[in-house]
Amino acid sequence: MDSSLVVLARAGVGLVLDLDTPGLPRVLHWGADLGPGVDDAAFRSIAVPGRRGGAPAEPAAPTLLPAQVDGWVGRPAVSGDRSRGYAHLRLVPVGLPEVAADGGSVEIASLDGAAGVSVVSSLRLDEAGVLRVRHTLTNDGSDPWRMGGLRAVLPVPDQAAELLHFSGRWGLEKIPQRERFLPGIRSLETRRGRTGHSHTGLLVAGTTGFGFGSGEVWGVHAGWSGWTVHDAERLAEGWSTLGAGELLASGEVVLEPGESYATPDVYFVYSDAGLDGLSGRLHTSLRARASHPSTPRPLVLNTWEAVYFDHDLDRMKGLADVAASVGVERFVVDDGWFLGRRNDLGGLGDWYVDPDLWPDGLHPLVQHVRALGMQFGLWVEPEMANPRSRLVEEHPDWLLHDPDRVPREWRNQHTVDVANPAVYAYLLERLDKLVGEYAIDYLKWDHNRDLLEAVHDGHAGVHEQTAAVYRLLDELRSRHPAMEIESCSSGGARVDLGIIQRTDRVWASDSNDPLDRQAIQRWTSLLLPPELIGGHVGPGRTHVSGRVTSLELRCATALFGHAGIEWDITECSSSELETLREWAATYKRLRPLLHSGRVVRADTDAEHVLHGVVGDGHAVFSYVTLATMTSDIPPRLRLPGLDPSVTYRVTPLDGLSSALPRWARPAAWLESGGVELPGRVLSRVGLQAPTLNPAQVLTLELTALP
């Protein structure tokens, strides 16, 4: 291809930009790598549409920043104005694009000289095939520029006929929503001040009937934890696009002369191997980061559902003793340790160890936990405060709202204005001192309410709040590089690639119900690899849903993530403790595979779930029955992702598999304790599943034979 086309190509993904335009480069192609030997003129001739009667002389093909100057009548990629007008920008390239020597990235500068606005567009296609786009707009004029919006947008082809996105609520995140990709715009917007339980995670367009292992799919995700917009648009002219970016409130970002605004990183992902191929690219990309956790993910015990606010040194020591005996490696003290915190009505914001509960501070417990060979972690919620707290009583001006209009309380708390320098300094000093004094290994960083009527310094404040929280996290990590941080937000309400750049795992949901977790973890792992997703074994009766489930199912579900326990295990029977001990040993043995292998999922009906992790000559699969089967014969377990040329030994994992119902006989291969078969047979013919009742599980380990 000639110099008028810019081509980025890696890992089977290609992007083609056409520079031979009157304005910004057109995006001629994003999808499969087209390979060498494509004639530039011929390719341009097939990629740019013809003209029909009544259409403009120049086709309105999508550019890097689609705008009305190009004849684009869809949602513009950039909007804003200044007092003297220029509501519609006419950006033209400045100089030649800067293409990296490895062909993996390009930077394009553009300018509207009359409007006094310039933009730098950076596109990087990494070695996993994930395309990261960021636009930076600068006010080159002499008066303020009011930002309206700035999004990253790419076209998708007309064979993208269906959309997948997600809804959800507290305790039941990531509920898939599937629909036709119809003319018009499907705009998914969050105004919660956090990512939200119903956040899309990924907005995916795909070919008809795409599944986990089949079809072409195109996905987009904005790596930002504040207000966001993800949209899929199909114009009557035939163009279709995916876009995403930060959603700005009126007057939230006003650029003074010389100031700039940068979009969050927006991630575009393509796969010709269905949703598993899409998540595989994202997982590979995240695992390649320098900041990705490099040590084995320690088995966690979190004290929340064990003790709640009932903190007592002897009780905590006893819990730690039992935790260490079953193999726990990280002991995390949850809510209730700080000033006046006996319930959720007070104390939040006063980040001092309560001397009434802990007269010698946390030192006796920390020393006991470390003597048992475990790390020590602590829960905090720095962005929030109760009205009944010293912070609010002494500094009512530290809250994130208009001083004359206090918003409604939510969970008996308000949001503190982290972008206020005094608040930032207080939180940094308190957290830094706590971490330093106790050599804390791990912070569970919570965020338990939406931001309503957020106002900072007289204007909408979510943008500056989010940026300030990022700065606070970054500063703490720079001061304590060995400490890990979890992003929790009443469960999975802050799961995005902005927060994950600053944290080491997310809490997928406040519900430990293993049946609900099957879906929550499956769809959360579309974006994040298992080692970044916390999943815990809870009590027999789930505290959130009230459902009673077996210990085998709870253990098998938590296995496929960063595993832990959230249960008063001092009340467990000896047999339950032995099961936990065996499960902990299995988790430690398998986590090198679970946290580096390829996540695979079978397309099943609503009655069953089959998923696994496949590595080099080693795999683990879990089969779960969600409901009473409507047929006498269970389905065949066709195991995806296996090497067809390798013969595997397949064995059930004890303690992670349910006992068969009394009236049922096992399949022949289970009666013999396992089977040896090539991967091509296991994936195409499959194993006859056992007859299981609802909420039962079969977990299989596959090992390649020499």
* Three-state SS letters, 39-96: CHHHHHHHHCCCCCCCCCCCCCCCECCCCHHHCCCCCCCEEEEECCECCCCCCEECCC
Q: Is 112 helix (H, G, I), strand (E, B) or coil?
A: strand
Question: Quick one: CA dihedral 509, 514, 520, 521, positive or negative?
Answer: positive
Confidence of residue 633 (pLDDT cuts 50, 70, 90): confident
Whole-number pLDDT of residue 345 = 95
Residue 45 or 57, more confident: 45
Per mean pLDDT, which range of 49-63, 274-288, 314-328, 467-481 is the poorest?
49-63
Clarify whether 276 is annotated catalytic. no
Q: What is the mean pLDDT of the chain?
A: 95
Average pLDDT over residues 331-351: 96
What's the pLDDT at 56? Answer: 63
Give me the helix-helix angle, 313-326 and 574-594, nearest 10°. Answer: 60
The DSSP code for 660 is P
pLDDT digits (tens, 9 = 90+) for 181-228: 999 999 999 999 999 998 878 999 999 999 999 999 999 999 999 999
Least confident of 32-46, 97-111, 294-308: 32-46
**How many residues are there in the chain?**
706
Query: In Å, how far are 94, 648, 672, 675 from 703, measured between CA atoms?
Result: 57, 5, 17, 11
Q: Is residue 654 among the annotated active site residues?
A: no
State the residue for tokens 């629909």.
Answer: 179
- Arithmetic mean of pLDDT, 494-518: 97
Residue with tokens 């799919």: 217
C-alpha triplet 392, 398, 399: angle, nearest 5°: 80
The backbone region for 554, taken as left when phi is positive above 0, alpha when psi lies in -120 to 50, beta otherwise, is alpha
- Residue 523 to residues 45, 172, 204, 349, 404, Cα–Cα distance (Å): 40, 11, 12, 33, 42
DSSP code for 196: -
- Work out the percent of the chain whose per-residue pLDDT is above 90: 88
* pLDDT one-digit tens code per residue, 416-449: 999 999 999 999 999 999 999 999 999 999 999 9
Task: State the pLDDT at residue 406.
Answer: 82
Query: Nearest-CA neighbor of 625 among 574, 575, 675, 550?
Result: 550
DSSP letter assigned to residue 530: G
Neighbours of 105 (CB within 10 A): 18
Specify the residue for token string 């709202």: 401
- CA distances to 14, 123, 189 from 36, rounded to whole Å, are 11, 21, 40
- At residue 51, the pLDDT reads 66
Give CATH for domain 300-507. 3.20.20.70
- Summarize the confidence of residues 28-49 as an average pLDDT: 84
* pLDDT score at 65: 97
Q: How far apart are CA 93 and CA 308, in angstroms?
A: 59
pTM metric for this prediction: 0.96
Q: What is the mean pLDDT of residues 282-287?
A: 98
Distances (CA, A) of 604 to 212, 274, 601, 626: 10, 14, 9, 11
| Residue 374 three-state SS | coil
- Name the pLDDT band for 60 (thresholds 50, 70, 90): confident
Asked if residues 520 and 495 have their Cβ atoms less than 8 Å apart, the reply is: no
Q: Where are the domains of the chain?
A: 75-287, 300-507, 600-704
The active-site residue out of 265, 510, 513, 516 is 510
Residue from 696, 698, 562 nearest 639 by CA: 698
- Span 254-280, pLDDT tens digits: 999 999 999 999 999 999 999 999 999
Q: Which is more confidently placed, 626 or 660?
A: 626
CA–centroid distance for 173 within its chain: 12
Around Cβ 548, how many Cβ atoms within 10 Å? 11
Task: Report how far apart, in Å, the C-alpha atoms of 686 and of each of 55, 185, 391, 604 are.
Answer: 55, 41, 61, 13
Note the pLDDT tens digit of each residue in 534-546. 999 999 999 999 9
Q: What is the pLDDT of residue 54?
A: 63
Q: Which residue has the tokens 């032995």?
A: 578
- Using the predicted structure, report yes or no on whether residue 451 has a pLDDT greater than 60: yes
Task: List Cβ<8 Å contacts ≥24 apart for 58-61.
Answer: 58/22, 60/237, 60/239, 61/26, 61/27, 61/28, 61/155, 61/239
Q: Is the pLDDT of residue 2 over 70?
A: no
Strands 375-380 and 442-445: parallel
Distance CA 181, CA 107 (A): 31
Report how far residue 660's alpha carbon sits from residue 628's, in angstroms, rounded to the nearest whole number.
14
CA-nearest of 199, 175, 203 to 189 is 199
Report whether pLDDT(390) > 90.
yes
Between vectors from CA 439 to CA 434 and to CA 441, what angle results, nearest 5°? 100
- Please give the pLDDT value at position 1: 41
Cβ–Cβ under 8 Å, residues 595 and 531? yes
pLDDT at 666 over 60: yes
Average pLDDT over residues 373-396: 97
- The CATH fold of domain 600-704: Immunoglobulin-like (2.60.40)
b (16+ CB within 10 A) / e for 469-500: bbebbeebbeebeebbbbbbbbbbbbbbbbbb
SS (H, E, C) 625-649: ECCCCCCCCCCEECCCCCCCCCEEE
Please state the φ and ψ torsions of residue 316, each to the nearest 5 degrees. Answer: -65, -40
Question: pLDDT tens across 145-193, in order?
Answer: 999 999 999 999 999 999 999 999 999 999 999 999 999 999 999 999 9
Span 12-35, average pLDDT:
94
What DSSP assignment string belongs to 336-368? Answer: --BTT-SSTTB-TT--SB-TTT-TTTTHHHHHH
Q: Compute the distance between CA of residue 697 and CA of residue 704 in angstroms, rounded to an integer.
A: 23
The whole-number pLDDT of residue 52 equals: 64
pLDDT tens for each residue of 673-701: 899 999 999 999 999 999 999 999 999 99
Residue 87 has what pLDDT? 86
pLDDT tens profile 215-236: 999 999 999 999 999 999 999 9
DSSP 570: G
Catalytic-role residue among 112, 441, 446, 496: 446
The Cα–Cα gap between 282 and 267 comes to 9
Q: Which of 531, 470, 538 is nearest to 505 (CA)?
A: 531
Instruction: List b or e across 312-339, with b for residues whose CB sees 16 or more CB atoms inside 10 angstroms.
Output: eeeebeebbebbbebbbbbbbbbbbbbb
Average pLDDT of 287-294?
A: 96
pLDDT in tens, 76-94: 999 999 987 888 999 999 9
- The structure tokens 């994040």 sit at 528
Question: Cα dihedral sign for 19, 24, 29, 35?
Answer: positive
Give 630's pLDDT tier (boundaries 50, 70, 90).
Answer: confident
Q: Which fold has domain 75-287?
A: Beta-galactosidase; Chain A, domain 5 (2.70.98)
